Amino acid sequence: MRLALVGLGLLLVGGVAVLAGVLPTADVAALAERVLPILAYVVAVTVVAELAAEAGLFRTIAARLGGLARGRAIVLWLLVAALAVVATAFLSLDTTAVLLTPVVVLLAAHAGLRPHPFALATVWLANAASLWLPVSNLTNLLAAHRLGVDGPADFLALLWAPALVATLVPIAIMLVLFRRELAARFVPEAPERAEDPVLLRIAAAVVALLLPLLVTGVEPWIPATGAALVLVVAVAVRRRAALGIGLVPVPLLLFAAGLFLVVEAAHALGMTAALAVVAGEGEGLDALLRLSLGGALAANVVDNLPAYLALEPVADSPARLAALLVGVNAGPLITPWASLATLLWHARLTSLGVEISWRRYVLLGLVAAPLTVAAATLALWLAQGMP
């Protein structure tokens, strides 16, 4: 509700900017043409993820991972980390934060393990591992048209090195941090039978078909919408009570739409020129680090989406835009509001009775975020063979 109110406030400010002539209607039309397919994808993939979770797909996968670990906590944790990376890469960071967090926390609890290493893995990797594909993060979808890439393969060709490093560095830090807890052993539980095996199989088939379609180069909203419609029909037949307006992420849509308008108006008032002085120019290692670390700082101050939108115009080449993505995607590991995914993650933990100290979270993030962003930026620079 709070996010929806903020979104409505931003829309009101944006509307005033349009009426006052600060933001021309032609610019609003161009903005709508750019962001409407992105918002359509956000709605569709959220519905897919929510209904797949309702069918028990994530619980079933997590239970299978518990069996594969053969009683070793470190193997279970690594499998959970891998699941978080895959979920983030294909279904977005918010899906990992909202739907995977309760599953892995309960998995750890059933195994008699402390849930904190598993909870931290989901939120850190939801953010840091969101560089792999355009659909991994809303910032990536916004950047895709400016990067000049032709589909997910080209996107990956540009960002594979920083994506790999940004994924591995937090994993390495957590392995050191939780080395004693992850040395434990547990007794695996037999997986529970699904409430509706038919619905589970349908959900599994839909998600299995959707994932490769998201990397074919087709506009992501098209296969995601098709998958959402199939699952809506299946759930309407098998479990009608699970359908409702709550499946649609209305607060996120209001927030994003309002933010797009306000930031566009700010650019029209001259914000781009001011930020250009701060962001610098060039594609040398020092210039890329300045932009990526600046993006990470901005994300931790105001949230990663407005940080990206504000700095996008000064990231005036594919390499600089990639560096900005490194900062705003892998950098939001410090403050609770650095990304919406982190806030959603914490809300899920609170509902499960798991207490996370924000003070400790911030202190760990102060170590992890700069290391991750700097290492990933170095990987980007090396992969591009830049002088």
pLDDT per position as a tens digit, 45-74: 888 888 988 888 888 888 888 788 888 999
Mean pLDDT of 363-381: 96
- Please write the tens of the pLDDT for every residue from 155-179: 999 999 999 999 999 999 999 999 9
- Please write the tens of the pLDDT for every residue from 8-25: 888 888 888 888 877 788
At position 208, the amino acid (one-letter code) is A
**Are the C-beta atoms of residues 119 and 101 closer than 8 Å to each other?**
yes
- Please write the tens of the pLDDT for every residue from 113-146: 888 999 999 999 999 999 999 999 989 998 987 8
Sequence-separated (6 or more) residues with CB below 8 Å from residue 163: 129, 131, 132, 156, 376
pLDDT band for 351, please (50, 70, 90 cuts). Answer: confident
List the structure tokens of 324. Answer: 């900005």
**Are the C-beta atoms of residues 198 and 238 closer than 8 Å to each other?**
yes
Computed over every residue of the chain, the mean pLDDT equals 87
- pLDDT on residue 174: 96
User: How many Å apart are CA 235 and CA 161, to the nearest integer?
Assistant: 40
Range of the domain at 342: 2-384
User: How many Å apart are CA 332 and CA 369, to the nearest integer?
Assistant: 7
Q: Total structural domains in the chain? A: 1
- pLDDT on residue 277: 64
* Rounded CA Rg of the chain: 21
* Listed residue (350, 307, 287, 310) closest to 97, CA to CA: 350
* Listed residue (80, 82, 88) closest to 108, CA to CA: 80
pTM above 0.85, yes or no: yes
